[in-house]
Amino acid sequence: MTPDAFTTLDQKDPLRAFRQYFDLPADVVYLDGNSLGALPKATPARVREVVEEEWGQQLIRSWNTRGWIDLQRRIGDKIGRIIGAEPGETLVADSTSVNLFKLLAGAVKLRPGRTRIISEIGNFPTDLYIAQGLAALLGDGIEVIAVKPEDVESVLDERVAVLMLTHVNYGTGAMYDMAQITERAHDVGALMLWDLAHSAGAVPVELNAAGADLAVGCGYKYLNGGPGAPAFLYVAERHQAQLQPAISGWFGHAAPFAFEGDYRPAGDIMRLAVGTPPVISLAALEIGVDLMLDAPISAIRDKSIRQTELFIELVDQEIPELRGSLASPSDPLRRGSQVCLRHPDAWPIMQALIARGVIGDFRAPDILRFGFTPLYVGYADIWKAVRILRHIMVTGEWRQDAYQAKSKVT
């Protein structure tokens, strides 16, 4: 394909208008929105309004007059529309790690007598760490068993309390069939908990249609809520009255402002709230979520598939050294919105790319990871990224000393 063909694709792109709503440096091709989403242009003004007007002028009155008290639920319901949940099933709260703890703990208690939490060896480490920490805290023979993705179904039996999987794998982009795996978990009476960190806003997700029980996800990736944005959690309506909150904070109380001495959980999703929510961060997140709601997820998915396919095809065509290096599934239907390539020198190669304005990720030990966020990545960006990657590989530019030193965040 020629560069002109990519420009034509951009001209015909139904999502083309969305790029203007993001503030991106002109000289950067940003292929890391799956780690930290881009800044929506409307966010700074909204944050300023919350700080200067709602906080500065209205002070504590804003909890009522500006709806601060309802933000977690209000934004939760909006995210619910992106992940196939009904109103009242999704709450914005805490971080993904903390939400995993709350939901896993609640799930284990819902399956008394069962001792196993099953997960996947390549899961994002925080998911495994949280499960391990919870098992150690609970004792009672509770154990975490992590197996290869292809072995997940074969370890499901009546000992399993909960199956906890990340829908789209952070390291490879491999995507599970949500409905099928959820059904297998239910076949043995286990609960299904999905981590949607790399799915929400990236691929179509239908939690209720799939029969999922519980889910968590990030606000700062495809939802563009900003660094450390509050996360979300989902509890299917049918479990809400029984799920015991493991962290029984006052925001989850049935009547927080009655200031009672004893804990009584709220009757609905609010029981999973803990303490005072970060209002300024919630306001920033809402801007990102609103933008996402304006874009049909089917158009996002179509563009994402097209972009990842084109990227793979171009790398194959243009960069002999990277031919056959694909670490993501080659079937786009089994892949999220990212492409991973394997190379023993992935670290310095990625540093050289970043120095030339193509921002992707390195993931240990040998992965070059490229995230495609269709709201602001164009087709011409893909052409440019592959040309620069080609230059770096052909010239051996990545071998320079400057690109060898490791930094703290990789």
Ligand X SMILES: Nc1c(O)cccc1C(=O)C[C@H](N)C(=O)O
Ligand Y SMILES: Cc1ncc(COP(=O)(O)O)c(C=O)c1O
Do the annotations mark residue 195 as ligand-binding? yes
**φ and ψ at residue 142, rounded to 5 degrees:** -65, 130
Q: Is 372 noted as a catalytic residue in this protein?
A: no
- Pair 34, 201: CB distance under 8 Å: no
195 interface partner picked from ligand X, ligand Y, none, CB below 5 to 8 A per type: ligand Y
Residue 115 interacts with which of ligand Y, ligand X, none, CB < 5 to 8 Å by class: none
Beta bridge partners of 370: 339
353 contacts: CB under 8 Å, gap ≥ 6 = 359, 360, 368, 385, 388, 389, 392
Choose the binding region for ligand Y from 16-24, 120-128, 248-256, 283-291 (rule: CB under 6 A).
120-128
Q: Which of 13, 32, 127, 213 binds ligand Y (CB under 6 A)?
A: 127
Phi, psi of 244 (to 5 degrees): -80, 125
Q: Residue 409 binds which one of ligand X, ligand Y, none, with CB within 5 to 8 A depending on kind?
A: ligand X
Backbone angles phi and psi of 32, in degrees to 5: -135, 20
What is the closest distance, in whole angstroms, from the C-beta atom of residue 300 to ligand X in the complex?
A: 19
> Minimum CB separation from ligand Y for residue 21, in Å?
24
Number of residues that bind ligand Y (CB under 6 A): 13
Q: Work out how close the CB of 96 gets to ligand Y at its nearest, in angstroms, rounded to a whole number.
A: 4
- DSSP per residue, 200-218: TTTS---HHHHT--EEEE-
Structure tokens at 103: 């939901």
Q: For residue 240, give Cα distances in angstroms to 74, 103, 250, 388, 395.
A: 18, 11, 17, 51, 58
Q: How many CB atoms lie within 10 A of CB 15?
A: 18
Three-class DSSP category at 335: strand
Q: Which amino acid is at 298?
A: S
- Would you say 125 is a known binding-site residue? yes
308 labelled as ligand-binding? Answer: no
User: Would you count residue 96 as binding ligand Y (CB under 6 A)?
Assistant: yes
The owner of tokens 């001792």 is 115
**Which one of ligand X, ligand Y, none is in contact with 95 (Cβ closer than 5 to 8 A by kind)?**
ligand Y
For 4, how many CA atoms within 13 A lie in the half-sphere containing its CB?
0
In the complex, the smallest distance separating the C-beta of residue 306 from ligand Y, rounded to whole angstroms, is 24
Q: Which is nearer to ligand Y, 95 or 132 (CB)?
A: 95
Compute the distance between CA of residue 196 and CA of residue 70 in angstroms, rounded to an integer. 23
Could you report how far apart the first and last alpha carbons of the chain are, in Å?
A: 33
Q: Which is nearer to ligand X, 35 or 351 (CB)?
A: 35
In the bound state with ligand Y, the residue whose beta carbon lies nearer, of 71 and 218, is 218
Could you tell me which of 231, 235, 233, 234 has the C-alpha nearest to residue 221? 231
Pick between residue 54 and residue 361 the one whose CB is nearest to ligand X.
361
If binding is defined by CB under 6 A, does position 202 make contact with ligand Y? no
Q: Which residue in 22, 30, 124, 311 is the catalytic one?
A: 124
Residues paired with residue 234 on neighbouring β-strands, in sequence order: 90, 215
Question: Up-side HSE of residue 305: CA atoms within 13 Å toward CB?
Answer: 13
220 catalytic per annotation: yes
Catalytic residue among 116, 221, 335, 356: 221
Which residues of the shown chain bind ligand X in the complex (CB under 6 A)? 35, 124, 170, 197, 409
* Residue 65 assigned to a binding site: no
**Binding partner of residue 291 among ligand X, ligand Y, none, CB under 5 to 8 Å per kind?**
none
Q: Is 124 annotated as a binding residue?
A: yes
Active site residue 232: no
Which amino acids are annotated as binding site for pyridoxal 5'-phosphate, given as ranges? 96-97, 124-127, 166, 195, 198, 220, 250, 276
Per CB under 6 A, residues contacting ligand Y are 95-97, 124, 126-127, 166, 170, 195, 197-198, 218, 231
Which amino acids are annotated as binding site, given as ranges? 96-97, 124-127, 166, 195, 198, 220, 250, 276
- Active site amino acids: 124, 195, 220-221, 369
